[in-house]
């Protein structure tokens, strides 16, 4: 148990360190003078240039530069965006709220909808399962940005049911959440249904039925828990996918958020911001994985004894 936690912590540190290194490498691989790369397409005074060289230790050997950069990141200093004229950390901080809202709401909707669908369709009549799995296939195949455009056109422009722009209020959240949640929901439903179908074949399910438990009762009280371990794994993995999907969705719905920020930064070659976002997502990955590990232990007692 303790060994498990230590291993996870060690891996986490390694992942974060790796992300920092990837960022640093990206900075130096970019063609052109590093100072120009950091500045991107904005225009700065010679004083600022000198400041950047000093901040990043660009007149030092590469190794020292790396150490300097590592040290700064450790102190929580992600650098300065010369295009936004503010520190990267505060730029990210300002956009974090709406993005978390969208991501959280999407994951919640996806989990609730897919659990319900999986429980209702697992081991049902062939046409129900066929319909459901065909819908899932389509759901996985539709590119998120296209879904978003379709939703926007139909429900905002044509029908006028939901606002087309902005991040204010619940109504503005509905369409982006549907767009982000759709592929996640279909993937989750598919996996959970297959998992449930395997579980429902297990002898302990028959045993529960012979005690007088109803079919739905068995699904909820016994079978569901058995598919939770793979489900949690998949959700942990899908968090990364969600972040990716949000880039396009935020742009289409003109929502504020990390996605928009990143996209603008990529367009303007604002590398400090991109590097900041990369580090942020690495932190997210580490946090999600620790949560996933803890959930494993809560779900499955057999894992508690294991190292």
Partner 1 sequence: MSTPVVEVTDLHVSFPGVHAVRGVSLAVHPGECVAVVGESGSGKSVTARTLLGLTGEEATVTAGRLAIEGVDASGFPERQWRSIRGRKIGYVLQDALVSLDSLRPVGKEIAETLKLHRAAPRHEIPGRVIDLLTEVGVPEPEVRAKQYPHELSGGLRQRALIASAIACGPRLLIADEPTTALDVTVQAQILRLLAERKRAGQALLLISHDLAVVAELADRILVMKDGVVVEDGTAAQVLGAPGHPYTKSLLDAIPGPGSRNTVAGDVVIRAEGLVKTFKGRTAVDGVSFELRAGQTLGVVGESGSGKTTTARLVLGLLQPDRGTVEVDRRQTQVVYQDPLSSFDPRFSVRRILDEALEVGGTPRRERVKRSVELLEQVGLDDSVLDRRPLKLSGGQRQRVAIARALAPRPRVIVCDEPVSALDVSIQAQVLDLLTGLQAELGVAYLFISHHLGVVHHVSDHVLVLKDGRAVESGDAHQIFTAPADPYTQELLAAVPGGHYDQADPSRRALPGREQHHRLVRPQVG
Partner 2 sequence: MAFLALVTLAALAPGLLTGGTPDAADALAALQGPSADHLLGTDANGRDVFTRIVYGAAPSLLAGLGATALAVVVGTALGLLAALGGRVVDEIVMRLVEIVLSLPTLLLALLVITVTGPGTVNVIFAIALYTAPSYARLVRAQTMVIRNAGFVEAAVSLGLGRGRIVTRHVLPNAFEPLVVLATIEVGTALVAAASLSYLGLGPQPPAPEWGAMLSAGRDYFSVAWWIAVFPGVAITLTVLSITVVGRRLQRRIA
Sign of the torsion angle spanned by Cα atoms 30, 33, 38, 43? negative
193 vs 226, beta carbon nearer partner 1: 226
- Give yes or no for residue 127 binding partner 2 (CB under 8 A): no
Identify the CA nearest to 24 among candidates 72, 86, 84, 88: 72
209: how many CB neighbours lie within 10 A of its CB?
Answer: 14
Regarding 66 and contact with partner 2 (CB under 8 A), the answer is: no
203 binds, among partner 1, partner 2, none (CB under 5 to 8 A by kind): partner 1
Closest approach of Cβ 146 to partner 2, in Å? 4
Site string for partner 2, 149-168 (x = CB under 8 A): xx-xx---xx----------
What does the alpha-carbon distance between residue 246 and residue 256 come to, in Å, rounded to a whole number? 11
- Written as six digits, the tokens of 175 are 């369409």
Helix, strand, coil shares, percent, the chain, to 5: 80, 0, 20
Question: What are the φ and ψ backbone dihedral angles of 159, each rounded to 5 degrees?
Answer: -95, -25
Block residue for tokens 């058995």: 226
* 144 lies in the binding site for partner 2 (CB under 8 A): yes
140 scored as a contact of partner 2 (CB under 8 A): yes
Helix (H) or strand (E) holding 81: strand 80-81
Q: Is residue 200 left, alpha or beta, with left meaning phi > 0 and alpha meaning psi from -120 to 50? A: alpha
The residue from 109, 178, 228, 252 that contacts partner 2 (CB under 8 A) is: 252
Q: From 83, 65, 103, select the one nearest 268 (Cα to Cα).
A: 83
263 binds, among partner 1, partner 2, none (CB under 5 to 8 A by kind): partner 2
Which is it for the CA torsion 97, 99, 105, 108, positive or negative? negative
Contact 268, 40 (CB under 8 A): yes
For the CB of residue 278, give the shortest distance to partner 2 in the complex, in Å.
Answer: 6
Tokens of 183: 């592929």
Residue 149 touches which of partner 1, partner 2, none (Cβ within 5-8 Å per kind): partner 2
Residues in contact with partner 2, counted by CB under 8 A, come to a total of: 51
Indicate if the alpha-carbon torsion angle 239, 265, 178, 136 is positive or negative. Answer: negative
CB of 54 to partner 2, least distance (A): 24
Interacting residue with partner 2 among 11, 90, 116, 254 (CB under 8 A): 11
Q: Does 271 bind partner 2 (CB under 8 A)?
A: yes
Residues near partner 1 (CB under 8 A) are: 202-204, 206-214, 222, 225-226, 299-302
Q: What are phi and psi of 259, to 5 degrees?
A: -60, -50
Nearer to partner 1, 116 or 214 (CB): 214
Output 75 or 302, the one with its CB closest to partner 1: 302
Q: Which is nearer to partner 2, 98 or 259 (CB)?
A: 259
Tell me which of partner 1, partner 2, none is bound by residue 298, counting a contact when its beta carbon lies within the kind-specific cut-off of 5 to 8 angstroms: none
* Contact code string over 14-53 relative to partner 2, x by CB under 8 A: xx--xx--xx--x--xx-----------------------
Q: What is the DSSP letter of 43?
A: -
Enumerate binding residues for partner 2 (CB under 8 A).
11, 14-15, 18-19, 22-23, 26, 29-30, 137-138, 140-146, 149-150, 152-153, 157-158, 239-245, 247-248, 251-252, 262-263, 265-267, 269, 271, 274-275, 277-278, 281-282, 285-286
């Amino acid at each position: 148990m303790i060994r498990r936690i230590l291993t996870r912590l060690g891996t986490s540190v390694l992942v974060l360190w790796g992300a920092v290194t990837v960022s640093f490498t990206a900075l130096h691989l970019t063609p052109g003078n590093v100072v120009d790369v950091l500045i991107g397409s904005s225009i700065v005074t010679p004083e600022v240039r000198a400041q950047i060289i000093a901040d990043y230790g660009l007149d030092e050997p590469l190794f020292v530069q790396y150490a300097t950069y590592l040290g700064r990141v450790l102190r929580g200093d992600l650098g300065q965006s010369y295009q936004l004229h503010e520190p990267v950390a505060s730029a990210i901080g300002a956009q974090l709220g709406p993005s978390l809202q969208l991501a959280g709401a999407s994951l919640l909707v996806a989990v609730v909808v897919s659990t319900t669908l999986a429980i209702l369709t697992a081991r049902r009549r062939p046409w129900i399962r066929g319909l459901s799995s065909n819908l899932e296939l389509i759901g996985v195949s539709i590119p998120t940005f296209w879904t978003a455009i379709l939703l926007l056109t139909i429900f905002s422009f044509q029908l006028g049911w939901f606002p087309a722009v902005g991040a204010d209020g619940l109504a503005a959240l509905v369409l982006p959440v549907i767009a982000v949640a759709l592929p996640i929901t279909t993937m989750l439903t598919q996996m959970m249904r297959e998992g449930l179908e395997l579980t429902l074949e297990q002898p302990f399910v028959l045993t529960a039925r012979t005690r007088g438990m109803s079919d739905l009762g068995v699904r909820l009280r016994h079978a569901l828990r058995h598919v939770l371990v793979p489900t949690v794994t998949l959700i942990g993995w899908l968090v990364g996918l969600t972040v990716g999907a949000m880039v396009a969705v935020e742009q289409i719905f003109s929502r504020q958020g990390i996605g928009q920020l990143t996209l603008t930064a990529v367009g303007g070659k604002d590398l400090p911001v991109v590097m900041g976002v990369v580090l942020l997502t690495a932190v997210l990955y580490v946090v999600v994985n620790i949560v996933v590990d803890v959930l494993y232990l809560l779900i499955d007692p057999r894992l508690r004894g294991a190292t």
